[in-house]
Amino acid sequence: MTSPSSPSIHNQALTPTSASSRVFGWADHASLWFSMGVGLLVMQVGAYLVPAAGTKEALFAIIAGSIIGSGLLAWVAKVGCDSGLSSAGLIHTTYGRYFARLPVFLNIVQLLGWTTFELVIMREGTITIGNQAFGLNLDKSTGVIVSTVFWGCVLTALLAGSMITLVRRFVSRYGLPLVVLSLLWLTWQFANQLQTAGLSTVWNRQGDGSMGVFSALDLVIAMPVSWLPLVADYSRHGRTGRGALSGTWLGYTVANIWCYALGVVVVSVATPNTDLVSALLLAQGGLIALGLILIDELDNAYGDVYSGSVSAHSLKPGWSIRRWGLLLAVASTLLALVLPMHGLEPFLLILSSVFVPLYGVILGRLGFGYAGTPAQTPKVDGIAACIWILGIALYHALAQWAPDMGSALPALAFTFVLAMLTRRQLSPVIT
């Protein structure tokens, strides 16, 4: 059997991007990550902040967490652009050619799960729109199957095309303006309702004590941090590291703050026991705005499955990235039909916790302008692997015994410092 590093097979995931493929400018990075940052899932998580935390504490957590989390995301984007390596390539370079297969495999499992989760969100949104806006009865098994398969087919069709073309032509030119208009319209509608409900009352509302400031900060940071294992798969196509850094940071920060804050506002003015999607539909023009946001949710699913296909290609380069993408899209559609999502979500959140310390090590080793290539690394970097494992242990220990401190930032800082102190001085990055 031919190994992934065999010279007879071109492994695109472990080879620096060629100059001809470096076509993303600042605007491409910004529009892509603004679009990635917009979604019903982000608004729903934002709605969890209140009434657990007070309005002022929630707003502080939203702004600070978005800036910090998006900054980390942008830093990894710069590393990917400067080195020209995919996320799998960065993992191989940091942890060694053999050991890297473990986190890369876990990343594939995670991305397959999150793609499935996105399909379920789109399906549930479709069912809600159909039932409440058009009087259909889509809750039965036939409606669930048809809605799931429809979005799965659209996702599979997108995977058959070019990622670069999708980002530069659809997302930047058409998708982004429509999504911005939708968010502006919903913001205007719910801002009026907020004014009617009493802005001062909502602003001074206290939390019920079930979530402290650091826990809320952890919840906000979790969203941009969840994209760490994907960002280099796109930023490696950027022209300059500075453009990848600033475009990614600005785009995702604005989207994350906007959607989290909108979720807080919606839940603050909605009638009790009204879910987020229903509340959005009740707004004037909400059907059109929600429909556009639902379509935009596709790029989140696309981002997950495309990055998963790049990682899978790094392990089995005999299959092209496109072929892996089609396979994962079909697999996620089938999983969305059969998996109990309420049981899957905690598993996904636990699995996601391994990637915070994973990228703390990567940033500590590669975040200061030096990087090798997968071919230059040993089979196993034992020190990096041990730091990662210690970071995972710290993450779960804090979640268990000191939940008010948060887990993401301490685990990230711990692994980053240890990795920085033990990093090797390698050749300058490829630019």
Has residue 281 been placed in a domain? yes
Has residue 298 been placed in a domain? yes
Has residue 422 been placed in a domain? no
Count CB-CB contacts under 10 A for residue 338.
8
Count CB-CB contacts under 10 A for residue 6.
12
Mean pLDDT of 412-418: 96
pLDDT single digits (tens) 198-212: 888 888 888 888 888
Specify the pTM: 0.90
Mean pLDDT of 145-161: 93
Number of domains the chain contains:
1
Q: Within 13 Å and on the Cβ side, how many CA atoms surround 167?
A: 25
- pLDDT attached to residue 373: 66
Tokens 């049981």 map to which residue? 343
Report angle CA 156, 258, 189 to the nearest 5 degrees: 100
Tokens 């039932």 map to which residue? 131
Could you say which DSSP state residue 50 is in?
T
Provide the pLDDT confidence category of residue 274 given band limits of 50, 70 and 90.
confident
Alpha helices in 135-225 (DSSP H): 141-159, 163-165, 176-197, 199-203, 213-225
Report whether pLDDT(135) > 50: yes
Rg over CA atoms, the chain: 21
Q: What is the domain range of residue 113?
A: 29-341
**256 or 378: which leads in pLDDT:** 256
CA distance 303 to 18: 21
Report whether pLDDT(353) > 70: yes
Q: Within 13 Å and on the Cβ side, how many CA atoms surround 196?
A: 8
- pLDDT attached to residue 7: 44
CA 297 to chain centre: 11
- Kindly report which listed range (81-90, 218-227, 275-284) carries the lowest average pLDDT score: 275-284
- Kindly report which listed range (11-15, 167-171, 260-264, 396-400) carries the lowest average pLDDT score: 167-171
- Kindly report which listed range (165-174, 237-246, 306-315) carries the lowest average pLDDT score: 165-174
Has residue 389 been placed in a domain? no
CA distance 60 to 214: 10
Exposure string (b/e) for 101-122, b if CB count within 10 Å is 16 or more? bebbebbbebbbbbbbbbbbbb
Report whether pLDDT(3) > 80: no
**Mean pLDDT for the chain?**
87
Q: What is the CATH number of the domain that holds 71?
A: 1.10.4160.10
Provide the pLDDT confidence category of residue 280 given band limits of 50, 70 and 90.
confident
Has residue 100 been placed in a domain? yes
Among 14, 34, 32, residue whose Cα is nearest residue 23:
32
Among 68, 95, 33, 377, residue whose Cα is nearest residue 238:
33
Has residue 17 been placed in a domain? no
Has residue 296 been placed in a domain? yes
Q: Which two tokens stand for residue 5?
A: 């590093």
CA distance 266 to 427: 51
Count CB-CB contacts under 10 A for residue 297.
20
Residues 212/405, Cβ–Cβ less than 8 Å: no
Q: What three-state secondary structure class fits 209?
A: coil
Tokens 């800082």 map to which residue? 413
Has residue 411 been placed in a domain? no
